[in-house]
């Protein structure tokens, strides 16, 4: 006897697991969770930066610092797409680092909470019908 039951998963009903808001100059910006493709592109971009600036010279280190700051800005812009370039450029280094840490820390927490004792992700939550 064969089981003829069919199960379906509509990924359009799956809610993002992360909801956070960044406030800059009194304006709130909602977090946009990266797609799989965006995440892979970000990892490739970071790896390319590390390879490009792996030298020991002082100039390489300055170039690396500049590239890392630009990379951090891009990461913030990707996570909070409504932040305008002027506000992003107006941040000081501590503010930029705090935003990156905020993004990373929440990402780490969400990943840990999403796993069961075996390290498996839980069943997806469905969007509420409004």
- Per residue in 35-82, pLDDT (tens digit) is 888 888 888 888 887 777 776 666 677 777 888 888 889 889 989 999
Distance CA 121, CA 33 (A): 17
> Considering the entire predicted model, what is its pTM?
0.64
List residues bridging with 23 in a β-sheet. Answer: 28
Within 8 A by CB and 6+ apart from 18, the residues are 31, 33, 106, 107, 110
Residue boundaries of the structural domains of the chain: 34-113
Structure tokens at 123: 């069943």
The residues near 123 (Cβ < 8 Å, ≥ 6 apart) are none
């Amino acid at each position: 006897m064969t089981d003829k039951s069919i199960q379906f998963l509509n990924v359009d009903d799956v809610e993002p697991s992360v909801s956070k808001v960044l406030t800059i100059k009194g304006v709130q910006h909602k977090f946009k969770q990266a797609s799989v493709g965006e995440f892979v592109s970000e990892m490739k971009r970071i790896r390319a930066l590390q390879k490009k600036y792996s030298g020991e010279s002082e100039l390489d280190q300055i170039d690396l610092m500049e590239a890392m700051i630009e990379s951090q800005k891009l990461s913030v812009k990707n996570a909070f797409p409504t932040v305008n370039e002027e506000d992003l450029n107006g941040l000081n280094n501590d503010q930029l680092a705090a935003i990156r840490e905020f993004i990373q820390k929440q990402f780490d927490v969400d990943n840990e909470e999403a796993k069961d004792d075996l390290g498996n992700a839980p069943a997806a939550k469905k969007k509420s019908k409004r």
